[in-house]
């Protein structure tokens, strides 16, 4: 299959490309599109055959449910059996935006889309290209991140091309995404609202609206015996090909520890890499050193992380050391993804 790549300007939407993309979806095809978080791999959420094609294109286990993307509140009421007050309150503040909410589903949503669950994850993305595309496609787009299962989520159209070329009908190229990490997922079907996946909308931001919110304990704990409530969170996602280890502790100690390790690999035909920050970038003696930005600039770190992991692959780095980040605010999402990429290998110095 030939994959059509269409560059779309966010400020001045190419209506023809959007209509074309909508038509592909209505005919059961797949279109990758930008959102403010990461690129999505879209299909008709109400068509079981489209969802089956999404799983096949990603190589994704079919027990891992898809998020349904909508463009207005009316659509929510068609696919959610009950819309609790909490959801309306959160939607008022954070939709369109990087927040996904879980509801009991209605019969119009096929089990193929929800991975066999009676619940459905719903999000209204904050990107004019995404919103126009969802409308043109009939209002309900099932979309996981547009990466091959196990690879970092795509933050550029080029990443989507790497993983999906020849497997889908079209890619809408809207340039770099804004946030760079997937949406926050909050479950509103449990007794107490619970964050299942941390993201740009933090626990504190949700608590500001709801008063209280729980966090799934498996999020930062690699040894938990309990299965995460979002089925996708149990997989080792975002894994670079090289071995990734996180080093946590006082910055000076972290730098000396990593440099000691790097020395062991010198002259052995092994390529090494470090995920550093502006403050420490110059102190490392690895083959490839990448700075995620200022240590305090969480948005910059989130924005770069996935591109870095992909670059380490294309630069064929065998061993990667990463500094550790705060676990508050957006840092919780950064550390959650980094820990998963590292298979929870973290060294405390």
Instruction: Determine if 171 is a binding residue for ligand TXA (CB under 6 A).
Output: no
CB of 24 vs ligand TXA, minimal distance in Å: 17
Instruction: Determine if 324 is a binding residue for ligand TXA (CB under 6 A).
Output: no
Residue with smaller CB distance to ligand TXA, 100 or 277 = 100
Instruction: Determine if 50 is a binding residue for ligand TXA (CB under 6 A).
Output: no
Instruction: Look at residues 160, 184, 179, 174 and name the one whose alpha carbon lies nearest to residue 303.
Output: 179
Instruction: Determine if 183 is a binding residue for ligand TXA (CB under 6 A).
Output: yes
Structure tokens at 259: 């440099």
Look at residue 293 and give the partner it binds from Mg ion, ligand TXA, none, a contact being a CB closer than 5 to 8 Å depending on partner kind. none
What residues between 127 and 156 interact with Mg ion by CB under 5 A? 145
Contact flags string 230-269 toward ligand TXA, x per CB under 6 A: xxxx------------------------------------
Look at residue 99 and give the partner it binds from Mg ion, ligand TXA, none, a contact being a CB closer than 5 to 8 Å depending on partner kind. none
Find the residue with minimal CB distance to ligand TXA: 232
The dihedral sign for the CA sequence 321, 325, 331, 335 = positive
Distance, first Cα to last Cα, the chain? 51
What is d(CA 83, CA 94) in angstroms, rounded to the nearest whole number?
16
Q: Which of 24, 57, 102, 186 binds ligand TXA (CB under 6 A)?
A: 102
What is d(CA 249, CA 126) in angstroms, rounded to the nearest whole number?
36
Whether the Cβ atoms of residue 109 and residue 181 lie closer than 8 Å to each other: no
Q: Which of 170, 185, 219, 239 binds ligand TXA (CB under 6 A)?
A: 185
CB of 179 vs ligand TXA, minimal distance in Å: 8
Instruction: Look at residues 273, 275, 321, 278 and name the one whose alpha carbon lies nearest to residue 297.
Output: 278
For residue 152, CA distances in Å to 63, 181, 182, 190 come to 20, 10, 11, 29
Q: How many residues bind Mg ion (CB under 5 A)?
A: 1
CB atoms within 10 A of CB 221: 13
Q: How many CA atoms lie within 13 A of 68 on its CB side?
A: 36
Instruction: Determine if 280 is a binding residue for ligand TXA (CB under 6 A).
Output: no
**Interface residues toward Mg ion, by CB under 5 A:** 145
């Amino acid at each position: 299959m030939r994959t059509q790549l269409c560059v779309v300007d966010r400020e001045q939407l190419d209506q023809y490309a959007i209509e074309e993309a909508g038509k592909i979806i209505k005919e059961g095809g797949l279109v990758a599109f930008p959102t403010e978080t990461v690129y999505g791999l879209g299909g008709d959420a109400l068509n079981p055959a489209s969802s089956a094609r999404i799983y096949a294109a990603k190589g994704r286990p079919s027990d891992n449910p898809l998020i349904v993307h909508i463009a207005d509140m009316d659509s929510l009421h068609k696919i959610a059996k009950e819309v609790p007050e909490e959801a309306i309150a959160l939607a008022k503040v954070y939709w369109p935006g990087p927040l996904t909410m879980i509801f009991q589903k209605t019969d119009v949503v096929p089990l193929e889309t929800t991975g066999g669950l009676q619940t459905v994850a719903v999000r209204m993305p904050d990107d004019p290209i995404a919103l126009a595309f969802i409308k043109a496609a009939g209002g309900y787009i099932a979309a996981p991140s547009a990466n091959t299962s196990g690879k970092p989520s795509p933050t550029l159209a080029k990443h989507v091309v790497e993983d999906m070329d020849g497997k889908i009908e079209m890619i809408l190229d809207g340039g770099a995404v804004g946030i760079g990490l997937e949406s926050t997922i909050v479950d509103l079907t449990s007794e107490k609202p619970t964050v299942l996946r941390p993201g740009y909308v933090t626990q504190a931001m949700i608590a500001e609206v709801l008063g209280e919110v729980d966090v799934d304990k498996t999020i930062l704990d690699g040894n938990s015996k309990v299965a995460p409530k979002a089925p996708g969170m149990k997989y080792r996602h975002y894994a670079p090909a090289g071995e990734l280890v996180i080093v946590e502790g006082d910055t000076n100690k972290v730098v000396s520890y990593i440099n000691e390790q790097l020395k062991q690999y010198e002259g052995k035909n092994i390529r090494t890499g470090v995920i550093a920050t502006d403050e420490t970038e110059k102190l490392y003696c690895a083959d490839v050193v990448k700075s995620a930005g200022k240590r305090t600039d969480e948005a910059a770190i989130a924005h770069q992380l996935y591109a870095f992991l992909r670059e380490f692959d294309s630069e064929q780095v065998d061993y990667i050391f990463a500094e550790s980040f705060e676990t508050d605010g957006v840092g919780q999402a950064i550390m959650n993804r980094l820990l998963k990429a590292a298979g929870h290998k973290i060294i405390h110095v």
